[in-house]
Structure 1
Amino acid sequence: MRRARPGAPPRGTAERVLTSVGAGADYDESRNPGQGVAPEAGSGVTVETSRLWHVTLCVSGDEAPLTEVRRGLEQLAHDHPFLLTSRYANNHAEIRYWEEARDLHDAAAVALRLWGEHRSTSKLPPWEIVGLEVIDRDTYHQRIAEGYGPPPAAPVGVHPY
């Protein structure tokens, strides 16, 4: 049985509205124009539209038994069904998934925490993050259409290189 992330939109929807108390004193609207920030009448709360970001996270480190790497990635995918696909070898792995976030900074921050926060619960190898790519949905689809982006993440799941 696949579980949804708390607060995740129904499958097949591309956007949802996030509610927060302001963007913070250091938020620069000019860096993210048109992101849907609009005050709710009389509430003192802002409404922000989230976007989908395609994330590719690469990790690497000392060799680990392939069966343990696969089991760890399968556990991560089970615990977090938003993962699209994982490829692995005995000393590196690549995880690809869609993240829903207000902007690139938020999506990247979540991606950079993913491996470390779930290393013990999923029994992942003690590898370090060696690469991260976060691109918006339009860029991802443009790359695919032009034939120079990563192939669509199919089949979904955990696979050896």
Structure 2
Amino acid sequence: MEAGADFQDPDGIGALDDLVDADAGTDDLGGTDREPGRDPEPHGSERVMSKLWHVTLCVSGAEAPLKEVRRGLEQLAHDHPFLLTSRYANDHAEIRYWEEARDLHDAAAVALRLWGEHRSSARLPPWKIVGLEVIDRETYHQRIAEGYGPPPAAPVGVHPF
């Protein structure tokens, strides 16, 4: 899946936003947040520009074998290429990734469908969504700079808690 034609990422950092230096307070590549706006199209109409949203999705349910949970999350990461990191136990998991969307409502809607839409194809446990956080890049970087953001991402991939 590629970024839409209206996606503005001049720094070329995209999903690398999760790889920040917490001590520095900004992303390593000098990225800046872009405010949503309007970009005129060639024929005078306007389109809404997309921006990046950091999503944390938490799911929970009946215990499942760890090997099956890991395999399902690895398949989800393959199916959803913007998945950054997943942490899991036998009865819950946390998935973190960047989503491109025009606003928070669209990013949250995609996140709320993610588990259910991939449950069969990735053979994920029949868990329910128990938590969702969607924040913009500016808020994400502010939290990291202030030292209270999400735990630093383990190397990209699927990891036990």
SS of the residue 1:94 aligns to: strand
Q: Distance in 2 between matches of 1:101 and 1:85?
A: 19
CA deviation map 1:105-147 (0-9, x unaligned): 0000000000000000000000000000000001001100100
Measure how far apart 1:149 and its partner are: 0.9
Q: Which has the higher contact order (CA 8 A, sep 6+)?
A: 2
Query: In the alignment, which residue of structure 1 is the partner of 2:145?
Result: 145
Q: TM-score normalized by structure 1?
A: 0.78
SS of the residue 2:135 aligns to: strand
Query: In the alignment, which residue of structure 1 is the partner of 2:22?
Result: none
Query: In the alignment, which residue of structure 2 is the partner of 1:123?
Result: 123
Query: In the alignment, which residue of structure 1 is the partner of 2:81?
Result: 81
Matched residue type, 1:65: P
Check if 1:62 corresponds to 2:58: no
Measure how far apart 1:40 and its partner are: 3.2
Q: Distance in 2 between matches of 1:136 and 1:85?
A: 18
Matched residue type, 1:97: Y
How many equivalent pairs are there? Answer: 137
Matched residue type, 2:38: V
Structure of larger gyration radius: 1
Q: Distance in 2 between matches of 1:155 and 1:41?
A: 42
Q: Percent identity?
A: 77
Name stretches of at least 5 consecutive residues in structure 2 with no aligned partner. Answer: 15-34
Counterparts of 1:1-161 in structure 2, within 5 Å, are: 5-7=1-3, 12-14=12-14, 35-40=36-41, 42=43, 45-161=45-161
CA RMSD for the aligned pairs? Answer: 2.0
Matched residue type, 1:69: V
CA deviation map 1:61-116 (0-9, x unaligned): 01100000000000111122210000000010000000011000000000000000
Q: TM-score normalized by structure 2?
A: 0.78
